[in-house]
A and B are shown apart, each in its own frame.
Chain A
Amino acid sequence: MRALLTGNEAVARGAYEAGVKLASGYPGAPSTEVMESISSYKEVYSEWSTNEKVALEVAIGASFAGYRSFAVMKTVGLNVASDALMFAAGSQINGGLVIVVSDDVGRSSGDDYNDCRFYGQNAAVPILEPSDSQEAKDFMKLAFEISEEFSTPVILRLTSVTCKTKSLVEVDESYVYQQVENHKYDFSFQRTMITTMMTGIKNPTSPKLAKYYNNFTGTMRKLEDESNQLDINKLELDSKEIGVITAGVAYSYVKEALPEASVLKLGMINPLPRKLIKEIASYVKTLYVIEEGQNVLERNIKNIGVNVIGEELFPRFPEMIRLTPDIIEEKIIPGITKNKPREDVPFRLPMNCAGCSHLFVYHVLKKHKIKASIDITCGIIGAFPHVDAFRNAKCMGSAIGVAHGYNVLTKNPEQYVAVIGDGGFWNTGISGLINLVYNSGNSTVIIMDNSCVAMTGGQCCPSSGFGINYKPENNIEISDICKAVGIKDVAVIDPYNVDELEDVILKAVKSEGNSVVVVKKECITAFKPKRTGKCQVKQDSCSKCKLCLKIGCLAIERKVNAEGDEVKINGDICMGCKLCTNVCKRGAIEYVQE
């Protein structure tokens, strides 16, 4: 049967058909759906772990127990998990171990600086890259086989378009799940221990040493040799003029834009098939490398002494946000012209949903000119210029550490506040909080508890009260954790009580020592509460001061018509949270019960 699957769903199906026993991960666009999909297969144990590093460690443990296992994360998450990867690489592998990593290519928010292939290279592990959903499924199965045969973790690299594109996939309906086990080693040691033993002790005689020996460099050389015969590295010789080495979805763009070109399509991008690369190089007059993300393939191909055209023709950010078939045509086909997008269409910056608790905290911070750091949460939208509530925005979980560093040294009397989401708090922020107590800091931390990891679509976290492996007795209250690690001043507040929220935050900021305010309100989008009314603008009272537009609420719009500006509230989107009625100084916004 052929089923219409996204790349993400196809990866999950491939893992299932490979007899995988464990899947662990952390949410992150564009590959969140892999976990959501695999967790629907009841035979497979799956979990959202507290962070990416833990997720990978869990998969490493399950693999060592002999079961095929995989971890899934975006490349920004692999930044967190990279230590776990570095030490799993080169160690003895039992059950196939695959790390599914997605590069969010084409996101102008800056994810393009992260390219997971650097990690694969650094760790010296194989990287496979599918170009569509069918390959996503097939490559996932192959990844487990390579992992076991060559005793190495394998990275499956996905990019946004591969993750998010639906195409038809052959699904074997008669497949009956069968877990696959592989148990070769009783020991698995990190690579540095192995190299210490192998290089330090020249004349091993003790049988005690044998368990440390693992010729991982030899294994990778063997794989490199075999990569020239691997089915997924395909040489399609055609035109003698133009040749392209490509991988992933870029392959489909090349076939669309340059149907006559000779193509070397790499299914495995690390290690590289040297013979095939040299073959296409000697066959064509001009050889290009076309790849999504940074110019990783290009550099590696140049390193083996093959001259290719890449970056010089395809400069990256800011000239190119994402690769498209149009860019390939424009750069390579002489004389081609393309329609250009209009320059006068306004850009859409991201917005918090109407009624979002973050809007209330932005309001208090701005009203009292409180300086604050934010990190990766829906609250980072508040750092964009249309809201303008934060001075500092950095990586997930960072807000507490950043505020502490600022407060420890600054001579200013004002206290710099950390704002962090519940997702970020559990991911890595909790370490920052412990550090605050441990080093006798003096900071205020506002934790936005919306009962889920909201930005990626409302996945569970340790305090969310639901989840794949949820038991009520194991739910952890954030305020309990804060008190347990030694924060004495902990308040929990419903942000919809705006005045009280203001008082609580101001009191915390002014207090001596560390303090935490837990702002507790369920995510509007994930929990879909019923509204009891909505807000509307009384046009004759409105002075058009536009203060309400600065709240950053999606429902409040400025409409320009013949008479000039008009501020309107979209009644379909408004949640009736009443923040705007509080902000409006002229009482021109009213709440209407439904």
Chain B
Amino acid sequence: MCKNEGKNLIICGVGGQGIVLFGKILGQFLINKGYELKISDVVGLGQRGGNVECHFRYSNKPIMSPLIKVGEADYIISFEQTETLRNAHYLKDDGLIITSTFEMSSPTVNVEIEKDMEGNKTEIIKELGRNTFIIDVAKYSDTDINISQMANVIMLGFYSSFMGYDDSEMIEVMRKTINPKFIDSNIKAYELGKQICNEQKVAVVK
């Protein structure tokens, strides 16, 4: 059942992006595969707009710490590029980044009590020199999918396709997790994520 030993994923972004749901669907999918799991949602300060990190570990052996050690994450899956950089130190030397180009400026930067990073964050991410997939979700805003609300499921579709997961099994889990009212639009978003993955077979930085 468990094809590989398991992975450590950091799933990150800002509040309201549906990171918890992403973890929930992927978690159930991997339980069905027979894996052990620990998923720890670490929510930063306060309300909407705060940073959210999910430490997601699955393995075919029992897992001890729910928190991933620095330098031990296989993948960073990020919904917001400032958060990609906030969590970059978790990545293994040969780890891989899947990041959205979406960016939400920090309130401290907005009111100028703190300086923003110098330069374009997408470029800074590339300069990390890791295997990186950059997903410009906004490019697809002319589709009938609400990109901002569905970013989590688009990323799930991308990741699932990247990992070669069985779509029907994943969609089955989605059906059991997501409110039936919204399931059709979610499946569309999932398909879009797959499409983006197919268009972008090769990582930006190798």
> Which chain A residues have a beta carbon within 8 Å of chain B's beta carbons?
2, 4, 106-109, 132, 160-161, 164-168, 249, 252-253, 255-257, 324-326, 329, 338-342, 344-354, 378, 381, 385-386, 455, 525, 546, 549-550, 552, 554, 556-560, 570, 572-573
> In the complex the two chains form, what is the Cα distance from A109 to B46 in whole Å?
9
Query: Taking CB as reference atom, which chain A residue is nearest B23?
Result: A166
List 6 A–B pairs whose Cβ atoms lie within 8 Å, in order of A's numbering: A160-B42, A164-B40, A168-B37, A351-B107, A525-B48, A558-B109
Is A338 within 8 A of B71, CB to CB? yes
**Least Cβ distance of A159 to chain B in Å?**
11
Is B117 within 8 A of A345, CB to CB? yes
Is B111 within 8 A of A253, CB to CB? no
> In the complex the two chains form, what is the Cα distance from A164 to B40 in whole Å?
6
Report chain B residues within 8 Å CB of A378.
47
**Least Cβ distance of A292 to chain B in Å?**
11
Is B111 within 8 A of A339, CB to CB? no
Most interface-central of B41, B51, B118 (chain A CB within 10 A)? B41
Residue-wise, chain B 30-41 has the 8 Å CB interface mask toward A (1 for contact) of 010000111111
Most interface-central of A2, A339, A556 (chain B CB within 10 A)? A339
Q: Could you say which of B82-90, B188-196, B198-206 contacts chain A?
A: B82-90
Report chain A residues within 8 Å CB of B66.
132, 161, 165, 167, 249, 252
Query: Taking CB as reference atom, which chain A residue is nearest B87?
Result: A341
Is B106 within 8 A of A164, CB to CB? no
Report chain B residues within 8 Å CB of A252.
64-66
Is B116 within 8 A of A560, CB to CB? yes
B163 within 8 A of A: no
Contact A557 to B47, CB < 8 A, known contacts A326-B69, A342-B89: no
Query: Taking CB as reference atom, which chain B residue is nearest A568?
Result: B105
Is B40 within 8 A of A347, CB to CB? no
**Least Cβ distance of B33 to chain A in Å?**
13
B110 within 8 A of A: yes
Is A345 within 8 A of B49, CB to CB? no
**Least Cβ distance of B1 to chain A in Å?**
14
Question: A348 is contacted by which of B23, B49, B70, B115 (Cβ under 8 Å)?
Answer: B49
Query: Taking CB as reference atom, which chain A residue is nearest B47?
Result: A350
B50 within 8 A of A: yes
Is A347 within 8 A of B114, CB to CB? yes
Is A385 within 8 A of B113, CB to CB? yes
> In the complex the two chains form, what is the Cα distance from A469 to B67 in whole Å?
38
> In the complex the two chains form, what is the Cα distance from A550 to B48 in whole Å?
17
Is B37 within 8 A of A166, CB to CB? yes
Report chain A residues within 8 Å CB of B67.
161, 253, 324-325
Is B49 within 8 A of A554, CB to CB? yes
> In the complex the two chains form, what is the Cα distance from A243 to B197 in whole Å?
48
Interface residues of B in 165-180 (CB under 8 A from A): none
Report chain B residues within 8 Å CB of A350.
45-47, 49-50
> In the complex the two chains form, what is the Cα distance from A556 to B110 in whole Å?
8
B44 within 8 A of A: yes
Report chain B residues within 8 Å CB of A554.
48-49, 107
Report chain A residues within 8 Å CB of B47.
350-353, 378, 381, 455, 525
Is A109 within 8 A of B45, CB to CB? yes
Report chain B residues within 8 Å CB of A348.
14, 44-45, 49-51, 106-108
B157 within 8 A of A: no
Contact A164 to B41, CB < 8 A, known contacts A342-B85, A347-B114: yes
Query: Taking CB as reference atom, which chain B residue is nearest A570?
Result: B104
Is A341 within 8 A of B42, CB to CB? no
Is A338 within 8 A of B105, CB to CB? no
Query: Taking CB as reference atom, which chain B residue is nearest A164?
Result: B41
Report chain B residues within 8 Å CB of A106.
42
**Least Cβ distance of B197 to chain A in Å?**
23
Is B36 within 8 A of A168, CB to CB? yes
Is B39 within 8 A of A166, CB to CB? yes
Is B48 within 8 A of A345, CB to CB? no
Query: Taking CB as reference atom, which chain A residue is nearest B14?
Result: A348
> In the complex the two chains form, what is the Cα distance from A352 to B86 in whole Å?
22
> In the complex the two chains form, what is the Cα distance from A160 to B117 in whole Å?
30
Is A166 within 8 A of B149, CB to CB? no
Most interface-central of B41, B42, B90, B110 (chain A CB within 10 A)? B110
Question: B45 is contacted by which of A108, A256, A549 (Cβ under 8 Å)?
Answer: A108
**Least Cβ distance of B20 to chain A in Å?**
10
Is B65 within 8 A of A256, CB to CB? yes
Interface residues of B in 109-164 (CB under 8 A from A): 109-118, 148-149
Is A351 within 8 A of B48, CB to CB? yes
Contact A167 to B38, CB < 8 A, known contacts A107-B45, A341-B86, A558-B109: yes
Is B45 within 8 A of A346, CB to CB? no
Residue-wise, chain B 76-104 has the 8 Å CB interface mask toward A (1 for contact) of 00000010011111100000000000001
Report chain A residues within 8 Å CB of B104.
557, 570
Is A4 within 8 A of B107, CB to CB? no
Residue-wise, chain B 1-39 has the 8 Å CB interface mask toward A (1 for contact) of 000000000000010100000011001100100001111
Contact A353 to B48, CB < 8 A, known contacts A161-B67, A252-B64: yes
Most interface-central of B27, B46, B113, B115 (chain A CB within 10 A)? B46
Most interface-central of A4, A257, A455 (chain B CB within 10 A)? A4
Contact A351 to B49, CB < 8 A, known contacts A168-B37, A255-B65: yes
